[in-house]
Amino acid sequence: MITPNLATAISELGGLIEDADRILPFTGAGISTECGIPDFRSPCGLWIKNQPIPFDVFMASGEMRDESWRRRFVMEEIFAKAKPGRGHRALASLYRAGKVPALLTQNIDNLHQDSGIATQDIVELHGNTTYALCLECETRYELSWVREKFDTSGQHAPDCSCGGHIKTATVSFGQAMPVDAMRRGEELTRHCDLFLAVGSSLVVWPAAGFPPMAKHNGAALVIINREPTEFDALADLVVRGDIGDVLAPFIAG
Ligand code: APR
């Protein structure tokens, strides 16, 4: 069912939330656009302006590692000042109410953590851009350290003392998905009774496989997104509206 208007959407969604015991939010970049962070595939999205740097290219080219870090630091002001939006706060309210045991996200902006959901209850399928890791020895590096090395070396990406390349703790195209996150994501998906896909175009696999998996395991499927997705026909409820407007009524406190 595609809801005809916001009031119907909120009423229908409220009924499903009321009836559910184990809600699994699955978020994409659309939940963070009202926080000032662009998404990827909207007309002003990041992949419209820049082609993503595939993992093998990052590993093979020092120039592309420099470019990757240049792009990340161009975004630093946006990421640093972003605060959780109405969607994040509504999901955090449902988490505090005991309706959301854990949350699955494709986002890398740390805003679900900032909204008060415990880190151990957030499954980051595509990692986190607020810190960096050595790809060899997995040493953690803070962005301030990388930035200082980057700036004082004439905008060159630093390497780890072990010789490994340092990259934000995100998953690039062509990079292996985090095994634990995928396993936990699948477990949560199979056991939820309401799957809320919020702000994702649902085009990137294997993450896009979770909504149909939830539905095929008996959960109700809700898709909240401005644009149509390929899973709309499978959903019990499709809300084609602004995430903040739709979820604001579920913010408690
Ligand atoms: N309200 C409702 N929908 C919105 C809003 C909003 N305020 N802002 C954006 N959207 C919608 C867009 O219309 C779009 O369909 O959110 C969706 C975001 O889709 P994408 O930009 O494709 O982002 P996402 O689905 O998270 O991308 C998945 O792709 O590039 C990789 O790793 C990256 O995790 C990302 C993955």
pLDDT at 39: 97
> For atom 28 of ligand 1, which residue has the closest CA?
204
Whether 229 and 104 map to the same domain: the answer is yes
User: Is 126 annotated in the active site?
Assistant: yes
45 lines ligand 1 (CB under 6 A): yes
Residues 115 and 234 in one domain: yes
Q: 136 and 74, same structural domain?
A: yes
Q: Are residues 77 and 89 located together in one domain of the fold?
A: no
In this structure, the answer to whether residues 68 and 122 fall within a common structural domain is: no
Looking at ligand 1, which atom is closest to the CA of residue 52?
A: 30
Half-sphere exposure of 122 (CA within 13 A, CB side): 23
Q: How far is the CA of 153 from the centre of ligand 1 (A)?
A: 35
Looking at the structure, do residues 95 and 191 belong to the same domain, yes or no?
yes
Q: Do 122 and 149 lie in a common domain? A: no
Number of other residues whose CB lies within 10 A of the CB of residue 186: 17
Per-residue model confidence (pLDDT) at position 185: 98
- Of 140, 170, 200, the last residue of a domain is 170
Please report the DSSP string for 83-150 in residue order. ---HHHHHHHHHHHTTS-S-EEE---S-HHHHTT--GGGEEETTEEEEEEEETTT--EE-HHHHHHHH
The two tokens of residue 119 are 């880190």
* Statement to judge: residues 76 and 184 lie in one domain: no
Do 201 and 252 belong to one domain?
Answer: yes
**In this structure, which residue's CA is closest to atom 8 in ligand 1?**
30
Give the residue, by CA position, lying nearest to ligand 1 atom 4.
Answer: 30
pLDDT at position 136: 97
Q: How many CB atoms lie within 10 A of CB 148?
A: 12
pLDDT for residue 26: 98
For the Cβ of 243 lying below 6 angstroms from any atom of ligand 1, the answer is yes
Do residues 56 and 174 lie in contact, with contact meaning Cβ atoms separated by under 8 Å? Answer: yes
pLDDT in the model for residue 66: 98
Among candidate residues 75, 172, 70, the one with its CA nearest the CA of residue 126: 172
The beta-strand segments (E) located in the chain are 23-27, 103-105, 122-124, 127-134, 140-141, 166-170, 194-198, 220-224, 237-239
136 and 230 in a common domain:
no
Question: Of the candidates 109, 144, 170, which is a domain's last residue?
Answer: 170
Domain boundary among 148, 170, 192: 170
Helix, strand, coil % in the chain, rounded to nearest 5: 45, 15, 40
* Predicted pLDDT at 116: 98
204: Cβ below 6 Å to ligand 1?
yes
Distance CA 119, CA 122 (A): 5
Encoded amino acid at 234, one letter: L
CATH of the domain at 53: 3.30.1600
Owning domain of residue 156 = 38-81+131-170
Ligand 1 pocket test: pick from 26, 201, 205 the residue with the most ligand atoms within 8 Å of its Cβ: 201
34 in ligand 1 pocket by Cβ < 6 Å?
yes
Separation CA 125–CA 27 (nearest Å): 10
Domain count, the chain: 2
pLDDT for 214 = 98
Q: Are residues 77 and 90 in the same domain?
A: no
pLDDT at 49: 85
Ligand 1 lined by 33 (C-beta under 6 Å): yes
Choice from 51, 72, 124, 200 to test ligand 1 binding pocket (greatest atom count within 8 A of CB): 200
- Pair (72, 17) in one structural domain: no
124 Cβ inside 6 Å of ligand 1 = no
The pLDDT assigned to 3 comes to 78
| CA of residue 219 relative to chain centroid, distance | 21
Per-block mean pLDDT, blocks of 10 residues, the chain (253 long): 85 97 98 98 90 97 98 96 98 98 98 98 98 98 98 97 98 97 98 98 97 98 97 97 97 91
